[in-house]
Amino acid sequence: MVFQIMFALIPLLMNTKDAVIAQPANGPGGADYQHEEVIFKDFAQAEDGYWLFLPSHPMPKAAHLVVFNHGYGAYNPMVYGQWLRHLVRKGNIVIYPRYQKNLLHPKPDKFAKNVATAIQDALHQLDTSQQIRPILDHFSIVGHSYGGAIAADLAVNYSSYNIPKPKALMLCAPGTGFLKGGRLDTYEQLPKDLKLIIVAEDDDHVVGDEFAKLVFETATNTPNRNLIYHFEDKNKNENRRIGAKHNECYGIDQAFDTGLRNITAMRASRWDEVNEVDYYCYWKLFDALLDCTRYGKNCSFAFGGSPEQKYMGEWKKGKKIRALEVILPPN
């Protein structure tokens, strides 16, 4: 089943009850898009299936590839739709593996295998469709929550999973909660040349920062890694609060709705605000990570504790929003 979505005709679906700072015009996290439309292909009937998102209008001959691993139960891409839209319009092919049939099946130790199968099948589909050639030289993975744990496993064991070697990896509020399937004891076997960003939310009561610290502290053979903390901030004059909870990277977009419903999708439907946390944390950091990995540019937005990496935007009257905290690996 194939759907084509004309994003030029679809308004941005977001919560407007709290005024938010506008998206930056350009740069990492910015609105300098190369493409106006997204082609949406559905190959996700089985638990090891996937959705495929391709840039269009104009359609490129080739595009870099990103795998986006959702959190537990968030197998409707609607949940992250606005981020997916951003990534594709920036010029990326995005594979969104399903990896779960439902909330109970399969068991978590099967998740990574299902994602690997989805990646293999998507690459075959791209090779045979002759629509857009995937560029695999800088294969990249981003994962939220349980999807972060899956992404870390794939990055360690990419050879045995028969997928391309990841060159960029971003883990967003990663963790498994009380479930332990698919976790590794150590991540010291992550590739030496991998560029790794881990983002933890300060007020994350779902998984905390335990897994984030485990990956960061044990990935001792991967020197180019940063652990980044995002914090809540408030502005009484604007009557606004910017949260730092587990699902800050959600961004509902009904255009990506596949009709699949569960408790995760229903809860996420109330989390439709795209704000500074998206623009200056998740979107900015991942855009910069991709730029740094592929082209050697915007690396200061992704690594090193620089002012541009930590910057989270400003309130309306110019006061800076609380900056990100960056933990660097020991020398």
CB contact at 8 A, 48 and 117? yes
From residue 272, alpha-carbon distances to 21, 136, 275 in Å are: 15, 32, 10
pLDDT mean by block of 10 residues, the chain; 331 residues: 42 40 93 97 97 97 98 97 98 98 95 98 92 95 98 98 98 96 97 98 97 98 98 94 96 94 87 88 98 98 98 93 97 77
Superfamily (CATH H level) for 2-327: Alpha/Beta hydrolase fold, catalytic domain (3.40.50.1820)
Please report the pLDDT score of residue 15 as a whole number. 36
Q: What is the model's pLDDT at position 122?
A: 98
pTM: 0.93
Cα(160)–Cα(116) distance, integer angstroms: 10
Q: What is the Cα–Cα distance from 58 to 34, expressed in whole angstroms? A: 8
pLDDT at 1: 47
